[in-house]
Amino acid sequence: MEHSGEVALVTGANKGIGREIARRLAAEGMTVYVGSRDPERGAQAVAELKAENADVRFVQLDVTDERQARAAARTIEEEHGRLDVLVNNAGIVGSWGLTVEDVTGDDVRGVFDVNVLGVITVTQACIPLLLRSPAGRIVNLSSPLGSLTVLSDPTHPIAGAGLVAYSASKAALNAVTLLYANHLRATGIRVNSANPGLVATDLNIDSPRSRGNRTPADGAEVPVALALLGPDGPTGTFRGGDGTSAEETVPW
């Protein structure tokens, strides 16, 4: 396998899209660290994936906890000495059903802690390991709900969704993606945002709108494709038009 022997870390990988990403990367021959805030659920996910002959390992990782992020990086360093792929999958929506005028700073702060600051915390801890890879890749799971181009069109359904905390966090995450891509471009590390599409997961189980009809396997397609990029692959892009193809871009 082309990616056999590579090492990956996937955050929020005990369920949903993250678990499927971990499974798919392991099927490519990678050793995959399953990051999970909940040790019991993380261990269960690892046991189930190991039953499929996947080389997966659990690391406790609350992305908002800098100590846990650094501990996870140390574990990977001690066991492998490098990291080839980081998939920042962990994310939350916040409260469903709030109108724009009802959203408080605390509502937004909690979502930013996970979706933006958590990504920065984990990425910062892992960059030294990614620099040791011949072709490091970072994939940040984003959403068209964070597209300023889409949000600026008042006729677009997304513009009327009113998810202030989530949309703002994903817009900020896209800026983080571009900043890291620009900073790391000369090192060869590829950094991209991925749109998994509207997948029916626990993330949107309480959505008053459609939960979507895409499966976690469908949602893993674009982030996995970006995780498998070669050294000549794109960087600083937002991929996954309708969440279906890594060849299609989403407007920033």
- The whole-number average pLDDT for the span 230-249 is 93
Task: Name the residue among 81, 90, 89, 68 with its Cα closest to residue 6.
Answer: 81
Asked if the model's pLDDT at residue 21 lies above 90, the reply is: yes
Q: Return the exposure string of 236-246: e unless at least 16 CB atoms fall within 10 Å of the residue's CB, then b.
A: bbbbbbebeeb
- pLDDT score at 1: 61
CB atoms under 10 Å from CB of 12, counted, come to 28
Catalytic residue among 33, 58, 166, 180: 166
pLDDT digits (tens, 9 = 90+) for 57-113: 999 999 999 999 999 999 999 999 999 999 999 999 987 677 788 888 999 999 999
What whole-number distance in Å separates Cα of residue 41 and Cα of residue 47? Answer: 10
Task: Name the residue among 90, 176, 141 with its Cα closest to residue 246.
Answer: 141
Domains of the chain: 7-243 (3.40.50.720)
Is the Cα dihedral 154, 156, 159, 161 positive or negative? positive
- pLDDT score at 207: 47
Asked if the model's pLDDT at residue 237 lies above 60, the reply is: yes
Q: Is 147 helix (H, G, I), strand (E, B) or coil?
A: coil
Is residue 33 part of the annotated active site? The answer reads no
- pLDDT score at 100: 83
Asked if the model's pLDDT at residue 204 lies above 60, the reply is: no
pLDDT digits (tens, 9 = 90+) for 122-147: 999 999 999 999 999 999 999 999 99
What whole-number distance in Å separates Cα of residue 208 and Cα of residue 24? Answer: 31
| Contact present, 88 and 139 (Cβ < 8 Å) | yes
Structure-token match 């490091």, residue found: 136
Cα angle, residue 33 at apex, residues 29 and 37 outer, rounded to 5° = 150
User: Average pLDDT, whole number, for the chain?
Assistant: 93
- pLDDT score at 113: 98
Residue 119 exposed, middle or buried by CB count within 10 Å (0-12, 13-18, 19+): buried
Structure-token match 């939350």, residue found: 92
Is the Cα dihedral 79, 9, 191, 240 positive or negative? positive
Find residue 141's DSSP bridge partners.
194
- The whole-number average pLDDT for the span 19-32 is 98
Structure-token match 């650094």, residue found: 70
Three-state SS string across 206-227, please? CCCCCCCCECHHHHHHHHHHHH
Q: What is the pTM of this model?
A: 0.94
Furthest-apart CA atoms within the chain: distance in Å: 52
Band (pLDDT 50/70/90 cuts) for residue 37 is very high
Q: What are phi and psi of 33, to 5 degrees?
A: -90, 120
Cα angle, residue 209 at apex, residues 204 and 213 outer, rounded to 5° = 65
In Å, how far are 4, 52, 115 from 172, measured between CA atoms? 34, 37, 9
Q: Is 155 helix (H, G, I), strand (E, B) or coil?
A: coil
Asked if the model's pLDDT at residue 187 lies above 70, the reply is: yes
Give percent of the chain above pLDDT 70: 94
